[in-house]
Structures are given as structure tokens and as C-alpha cells.
Structure 1
Amino acid sequence: MRPQLILIGAPGSGKGTQAKKLISEFGYNHVSTGDLLRAEIQKGSDLGERVKSILDAGNLVDDQTVLDLLNANCDIANSTYIFDGYPRNLEQSRALDSEVLKGASSKAIYFDVDLEILVERIVNRRVAMKSGEIYNLITRPPKTPGKCDVSGEDLVHRKDDTEETVRNRMNVFIENVEPVLAYYEQSGRLYRVKASESSTEVFEKIKNLITK
């Protein structure tokens, strides 16, 4: 069985794009804690009710509840998963190993890219809310300014894509990621890819990492 994958990278580094390709080619299951939280609430399970009460109170979901959520939805012994956006810090990395993966083969892939490039990439991002198309005013501009090529709808510049907000997110990411990278490096499971390369080049390198 292929290794469980842990994708690590700053916002805009391309994790989501590569996750879609890995799912399509290798049959990985995509684990997004946000999606799992919403799905569990919709199920109306005991765990879902616990999550709902936490969120309704305006609190962040605690690490143990997230681990319970992962264990309830991941069959590590029989399936392969991509953990995208989790773990976010050293404590979560250790807990994922000890309480979810439990010795299963895993690799952490870090999308290494100059943060200034990411700031420029995200600030220039525009989104078509209905079609789901994503544009970049520099690298992938729409044919008609401000309009989606597919649906013709107006493109949106999301509020959290402003330069100030993006730089704050990057600073938080940097503070938390270094201990996480060191943790996986110490166990020989950290692999770095240059996320500034083309999507195709990045995918080929990830394929080599998980098939060798």
C-alpha cells in the first residue's frame, strides 16, 4: 500500500492542486478537517453534536476532538489518505503519529516556495464563486477583465486575499511550520518540492517520492 501523505505548505503553495491530481491518479482519500467537521455535524452523530456545541459556543475545536474525528473517518489499515492542512503544529504532528497513523507508513511533503512569491500570487487571485474557476491577474488572467471565462460571472477578490491579511497568515505559518518540518526530518519522512516550479513538474516529483 502507498504511504499516507501529509502535505505541508503555506496558503497558495499549491497543495490543493496536487492533492486533486494524487486523488485522480492514485485513489487517495482527501482529508480536510473542515470538511470532516461539517460532515460529522450533518450526520447528527454524538461526535457531530459535540463539534456543533463547541462551534455554537464560538470556540475552536480542540485537538482531541479533531483526533476523534480523524479516527472515526479514516481507515488507515485499509486505505490511503492525504492530510491537507493538518497537522499545523508540533503537538498535532506527534498526536497524528501516535493516535491516528499508529506506525503506518507515511511521508510528509513540504511545498517549499519563497513567501514573497506567494504573497504576490494570492493578492492577485480572483475567484468565480459559481463555476469554481480560479484566476491570477499575472499568471492566468481571464480573457475578459473581471469576468469568468467559463460562466461569464463577475470575479471576486476575497477579503482574506488582501496583502495585509496574507502577510499575517504567512507570519503565523512560519512560526508554526519550522518545528513541524524538524519533527518529520528527524524521522526521515520529510521530502521537499519546489512549489515555484510548474504544476506538472511538481506532480512528477511527488509521484517519484511516493512510488519509489
Structure 2
Amino acid sequence: MRNGESGERGALGPHGTTRAPEPLRVACILDGTADAECRPPAVVPWLDGLAGERGDLALSVVDLAHYDLPPRYAGHPAGQLHSFTGELARAEGFVVVTPECNRSFPPQLKQAIDLSYDEWHAKPVGFVSYGFGCDGVHAVEQLRSVFTELHTVTVRDAVGMDLRLTDEKFPAGGSIYSDGLVRAAGALLDQLTWWGLALREARAARPYVA
């Protein structure tokens, strides 16, 4: 077993009852380097609230704005790179929150992704994307290709937000998180949790071979 994973599912409790698995550890990777005015307001607290209502996953935030990452991978990660890769290693799944920039995702996010390798293996990845005049679908499609190379499983459903439309719909400052976005986030978290628990068991049973 690696990274302290128990791999238990349906273990028996003290009275012979089935014990629920430990909550899935999910890292929410936020491209905090982007202009705050160009991000959906309170996107991380919104996701954290949805996760907290479920009880089967625990969300932690990995904000790229808090890390001074090197331009290239070091043979022996130290300092903030060591802290960053440690967060990825502890996680059992990921939600990547990204803007769309010129039909792609930001270079800071690509830099952060490329600075790790083993830490991504055999874990699920979901996406929350946004943009002005688009919902980030082009950024997500490119990220799916990147994460395939890193031996992850990207979940089918994603959450996409067109910030221009939400500004028009809520000119007085109401919540942009409509029922449709809540349902989309629920589907994403459902799939992320299913794959995360299944891959937890698989990694515990046998080491992943890249």
C-alpha cells in the first residue's frame, strides 16, 4: 500500500456492520495567478460547500498563487516545489479550476502540471472551467489530452461557466451558481468519487505500472 492508503471498502465495523470508506481526499487546483476579477466569485467555497454536503469526499485547496514554482523540474524537489508535489501525492483525486485563454488553458497551469509525474498516476481528474463568451470547453479538451499522458482518468462531466452570460443574468449581484451548475457539479463529484474509490482499491491491491 502507498501513501497510507487503506484500500478498504465495505470493511466490517465493531458490530459486524459495513463501515463506509474513508472520505476521498480531493485537491482542488486553482489557477489563482489569474486576475481575481476574471474568475467566478467564491468558486472554491461553492465547491467546498457542495463537497461538505456529501460526506464522501474531503476537499483541500491548492492555489497556484501561493507557490513560487521553478520553470523546470528539479531532480530533487525542495522548498515550495516539494510542498506542492506533496499535496498532489496526498490527494486521491483532483478538481482543476481553470479559465480559458485564447482557446486554451493558462501557461502557469501547464507549468504546475508538468512539474509532477508519479503523483498524478491512477487518480481521477475533474474540471471546472470558465471564460468570457465561452464556458472553457476548449481549455478542458486540451487538459484531457495532457492528463491522459499523466496516466489519470478524466471524468466525463465538467462544469463550465460563461462569465459574460452570468453577469447579464445577475446584474444586481445574485448568485451565479444556478440549479443547472449545481447539477453539473453534482455529476462531476459523483463520477470523481466513484473513480477515486475504485482506484484507491486498485492502487492498494497492486502498484500501478506506468
Please indicate, yes or no, whether the TM-score normalized by the shorter chain is above 0.5: no
TM-score by length of 2: 0.42
Q: Which structure's relative contact order is higher, taking Cα pairs within 8 Å and 6+ residues apart?
A: 1
